[in-house]
């Protein structure tokens, strides 16, 4: 690894460590039933209802429009990053992204069981879906994918700037869709972002375009 490539490792790993620390803190607050978390969830849901009219029922429930939008955005992001990597003949980097998503899913599943937070109560008064809600896997995946795409693209190019602008919008859209679908509380999607950053920065270290490929040649 060259000096330029080696210099990216501490930054990526530091970002991963900071996000992981924040995730541990939020997990502890959620698991303890913190009033601050409950208040944050209630205010965020009320804001979503006012902005999107979710209480009317048209966006509610598993399989509803909001649920499908969130899933579609995540799949679109995944296909984009894999397409970019394969087009650039970087199958190893594509495997790192898929491996990162697998690690993210494993951590997400473990946290769901550890915290045991019930799914949100639907606004239409029906029983919540079975399962646990913390953290949001959809939001974690979207965050990881956007972060990986940013480090794969050449910094400063028009496409990179476009991704930098649209990436947070995609993550926010996925997060809001999960709240509107009654799949997660607001704190759950915040936890998803932190999980995506924690795993995503580690993946970014391996797929950074300044890192040499398996032949030892620079990809940039």
pLDDT top residue among 62 and 101: 101
Say yes or no to pLDDT of 217 above 90: no
* pLDDT for res 23: 97
Cα pseudo-dihedral 5, 11, 12, 13, rounded to 10? 110
* pLDDT for res 46: 84
* Alpha carbon distance 203, 199 (integer Å): 6
- Output the CA–CA distances (angstroms, integers) from residue 21 to 15, 24, 46, in the order listed: 10, 5, 29
> For residue range 1-19, what is the model confidence (pLDDT) as tens digits?
444 455 567 888 899 999 9
* pLDDT for res 167: 92
* pLDDT for res 175: 92
Q: With a threshold of 0.95, does the pTM exceed it?
A: no
Average pLDDT over the chain, rounded to an integer: 84
Say yes or no to pLDDT of 97 above 60: yes
> For residue range 132-190, what is the model confidence (pLDDT) as tens digits?
999 999 999 999 999 999 988 877 888 889 999 999 999 999 998 888 888 899 999 99
> For residue range 63-89, what is the model confidence (pLDDT) as tens digits?
567 778 888 999 999 999 999 999 989
Confidence of residue 213 (pLDDT cuts 50, 70, 90): very low
Largest CA distance in the chain: 59
177 close to 70: Cβ distance less than 8 angstroms: yes
Phi, psi dihedral angles at 60 (to 5 degrees): -85, 155
* pLDDT for res 210: 57
> For residue range 42-59, what is the model confidence (pLDDT) as tens digits?
998 888 777 776 554 555
* Average pLDDT estimate for 113-131: 80
Confidence of residue 214 (pLDDT cuts 50, 70, 90): very low
């Amino acid at each position: 690894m060259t000096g330029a490539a080696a210099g990216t490792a501490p930054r990526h790993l530091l970002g991963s460590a900071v996000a992981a620390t924040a995730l541990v803190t939020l997990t502890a607050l959620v698991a303890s039933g913190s009033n601050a978390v409950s208040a944050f969830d209630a205010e965020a849901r009320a804001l979503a209802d006012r902005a999107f009219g979710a209480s009317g029922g048209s966006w509610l429930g598993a399989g509803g429009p909001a649920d499908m939008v969130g899933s579609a955005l995540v799949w679109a992001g995944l296909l984009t990053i894999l397409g970019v990597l394969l087009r650039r003949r970087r199958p190893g980097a594509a495997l790192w992204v898929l491996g990162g998503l697998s690690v993210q899913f494993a951590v997400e599943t473990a946290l769901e069981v550890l915290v045991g937070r019930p799914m949100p109560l639907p606004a239409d008064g029906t029983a919540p879906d079975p399962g646990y809600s913390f953290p949001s896997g959809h939001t974690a995946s979207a965050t990881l994918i956007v972060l990986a795409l940013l480090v794969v693209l050449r910094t400063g190019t028009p496409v990179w700037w476009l991704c930098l602008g649209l990436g947070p919008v995609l993550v926010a859209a996925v997060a809001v869709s999960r709240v509107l679908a009654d799949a997660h509380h607001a704190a759950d999607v915040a936890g998803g972002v932190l999980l995506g950053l924690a795993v995503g920065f580690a993946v970014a270290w391996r797929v950074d375009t300044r890192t040499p490929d398996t032949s030892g040649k620079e990809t940039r």
